[in-house]
């Protein structure tokens, strides 16, 4: 018969810690996202729809619209960690074909988020 704390036994402390970490991660990532931002995008003429479709395919993009004015597209993103923003922009947004430039606005207060 296995004893508590042995290699083959169920270690309740580790199980409890794992359950707490899993619940904590769920609360932070699904209920209380840490960062929302708006990305203003300058697009090459005629590439707006393909850029919009590429942005819609990303789970961190919660809203995207083609607009008139200085910018061609505006996208709202939500990230779980603020330090994810540079990697998100450089690896996922900037490489989209047809994007000429971006400007990012961080939300100071977002009433749509709890």
pLDDT tens digit string along 1-57?
A: 445 455 544 555 565 656 656 654 555 455 544 789 999 999 999 999 999 999 999
Looking at residue 25, its pLDDT comes to 56
| pLDDT for residue 82 | 77
CA 78 → CA 40, 62, 81, distances in Å? 15, 7, 9
pLDDT tens-place string over residues 46-89: 999 999 999 999 999 999 999 999 999 999 999 988 778 889 99
Does the domain spanning 33-106 belong to CATH 3.40.30.10? Answer: no
């Amino acid at each position: 018969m296995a004893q508590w704390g042995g290699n083959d036994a169920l270690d309740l402390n580790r199980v409890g810690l794992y359950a707490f970490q899993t619940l904590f991660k769920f609360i932070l990532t699904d209920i209380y996202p840490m960062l929302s931002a708006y990305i203003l995008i300058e697009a090459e003429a005629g590439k707006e729809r393909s850029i919009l479709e590429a942005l819609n395919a990303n789970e961190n993009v919660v809203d995207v619209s083609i607009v008139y004015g200085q910018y061609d597209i505006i996208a709202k993103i939500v990230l779980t960690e603020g330090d994810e923003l540079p990697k998100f922009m450089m690896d996922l947004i900037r490489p989209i074909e047809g994007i000429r430039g971006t400007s990012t606005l961080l939300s100071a207060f977002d009433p749509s988020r709890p």
